[in-house]
Structure 1
């Protein structure tokens, strides 16, 4: 199967709500990225978190097996430090091979739950 995607991805609309309703962990408010690796090689992903008033935090390292999809909850990124709740952030994802990245959020802070998803921005040079 051929490799599809890009090496560099970014999104700027991150914010993990503090409040959640419903059963944990399924109904915890969270942001998530889905990474699709269509190649026959393992993808080595590096994630960097950007805030408005400090230097970027990272590197968070994640591996994606060949020809697999992996969903990564931003809430679960804790090393080198936990991603802050109730704080605006942006995210830069760098891969050693082309991958596809999608961003989603589930906000369960109220009884009427909301989910949102969008493609991250493919930032490779042409």
Structure 2
């Protein structure tokens, strides 16, 4: 059995889904997870806000030895998505070590921008 690399606890402090986009592309964000372990990774997301209670216990599975690109706009709690136009932060916990990367496509202007960073792993 392959144990995999990475960490089990990650933070992404800068999240934001713009209210509108410009041109043919849609602004979006993704949490990209690499699970190099043989076991499926059971992820639990918590979304933190400046002015409201967190959205907790959002569950996602990443199969063993696979990658998954999770659009933040698809994460919901009790049918409610992450609100657009509101800053937030992301906590990701996993039962097996994974690598977490965050990407944002900003298409709010004609000149698009793509940003990608590895999350902060807690040891």
TM-score tier (shorter): over 0.9
Q: Deviation at 1:109?
A: 1.1
Give the SS at the match of 2:52. coil
Give the Cα separation in 2 of the matches to 1:42 and 1:5.
Answer: 14
Query: Deviations along 1:10-42, whole A, 9 cap, x unmatched?
Result: 01111111111344xxx2211111000001000
Q: Give the CA RMSD over aligned residues.
A: 1.1
Give the Cα separation in 2 of the matches to 1:84 and 1:123.
Answer: 26
Where does the alignment leave 5 or more consecutive residues of structure 1 unmatched? none
Give the Cα separation in 1 of the matches to 2:3 and 2:45.
Answer: 24
Give the Cα separation in 1 of the matches to 2:82 and 2:63.
Answer: 24
After TM superposition, which residue ranges in structure 1, 4 or more long, deviate above 4 angstroms?
none
Give the Cα separation in 1 of the matches to 2:8 and 2:77.
Answer: 22
Q: Deviation at 1:113?
A: 0.7
TM-score (norm 2): 0.93
Where does the alignment leave 5 or more consecutive residues of structure 2 unmatched? none
Q: Kindly report which structure 2 residues correspond to 1:22-61, keeping only aligned pairs within 5 A, or say none.
A: 22-23=23-24, 27-61=25-59
> Number of residue pairs matched?
121
Give the Cα separation in 2 of the matches to 1:54 and 1:109.
Answer: 25
Aligned to 1:118: 117
Give the SS at the match of 1:55. coil
Give the Cα separation in 2 of the matches to 1:21 and 1:54.
Answer: 29
Query: Deviations along 1:50-108, whole A, 9 cap, x unmatched?
Result: 00112211211110011000000001112332101111100000000000000110011
